[in-house]
Amino acid sequence: MPTVWVALLSRFLLKEPLSQRKWLGIIVAVLGVSVLSGFEPALALIQQSGSASYNFTPRALIGDLLALGSAVTFALYSIAGRAQRQRLPLLVYAGAVYILAALWLLPAAAAAHVSGSLNWPAVASIAALGVFPLACGHTLYNAALRRVSATYVNVIATQEVLGGILLGALLLQEFPSVSSLVGALITIGGILIVLL
C-alpha cells in the first residue's frame, strides 16, 4: 500500500512528522482497503490430510514483488511532487511528468501495435482515458500535494477503490458485497482518525 510508504518517506525525506494517532488511522485505512479490494495473502493456508501447509508459488511471489515495487515507486512519485511544490509551477511539473511517461511508454506501444487494429473511436477512447482520469486526476493529486502533507493526500486517495465500487453500482448495477461494505466503513474510519 503506497500510503504506508508515503508516510515513512515523508517522515525521513521531508521531515513531516506523524502522531501515533495518525499512524493508527493509516493502518486502519490500509486494512479497510485490503478488505474492500478482496485481499488474499499469497501464502494461503491449505489443509492437506489434516495438517496445515502453505501454498507458495513463484508466480505469486513475482506478483507480490511487483505490487510492492508499484507501491514504493508511487510513494516516491508523491514525495517528488511534494518536494517540488515550491520550485516549479504545477502545470510545468505535471507536464514534464506526463511527457516523460509518454516517451517512456512509446517504444512499448510501438512494439505492441498491430497494423489496422486502431480505428478513430478507439483512438478517441484512449485519448479520453489519458486526459480525464489520468491527466486531470494526477494533476489534481499533485495540486493537493502542494498544499497538504503527502501522507494525508495518499490516505484520501485510498478512496479510489470505494469510488470504483460506487460507480460500478450506479452505472453497471454491480452491487458491493457485505465484505466490501465493511471494508469501506473501516477505511472511512481510518481516514477520519487521520484527518480529525
- Give the C-alpha separation, 40 to 137, whole Å: 28
Q: Which of 190, 196, 100 is nearest to 154 (CA)?
A: 190
Q: What is the mean pLDDT of the chain?
A: 79
Q: Which of 82, 60, 57 is nearest to 6 (CA)?
A: 82
Residue 90 in grid coordinates? 504545477
Q: Where are the beta strands (DSSP E) in the chain?
A: 44-48, 51-55
Residue 143 in grid coordinates? 495540486
Asked whether residue 45 carries a pLDDT value surpassing 50, the answer given is: no
- Give the C-alpha separation, 170 to 87, whole Å: 41
Confidence of residue 43 (pLDDT cuts 50, 70, 90): very low
- Give the C-alpha separation, 154 to 75, whole Å: 9
- Enter the DSSP assignment of 86: T
Instruction: For residues 85-90, give the mean pLDDT.
Output: 85
Q: Is 71 exposed, middle or buried (0-12, 13-18, 19+ CB in 10 A)?
A: middle
Q: What is the pLDDT of residue 55?
A: 54
- Give the C-alpha separation, 104 to 17, whole Å: 34
In the chain, the percentage of residues whose pLDDT exceeds 70 is 88
Confidence of residue 17 (pLDDT cuts 50, 70, 90): confident
Q: Which region among 74-83, 126-135, 152-161 has the lowest average model confidence (pLDDT)? A: 152-161
Asked whether residue 33 carries a pLDDT value surpassing 60, the answer given is: yes
- Give the C-alpha separation, 175 to 126, whole Å: 27
Asked whether residue 169 carries a pLDDT value surpassing 80, the answer given is: yes
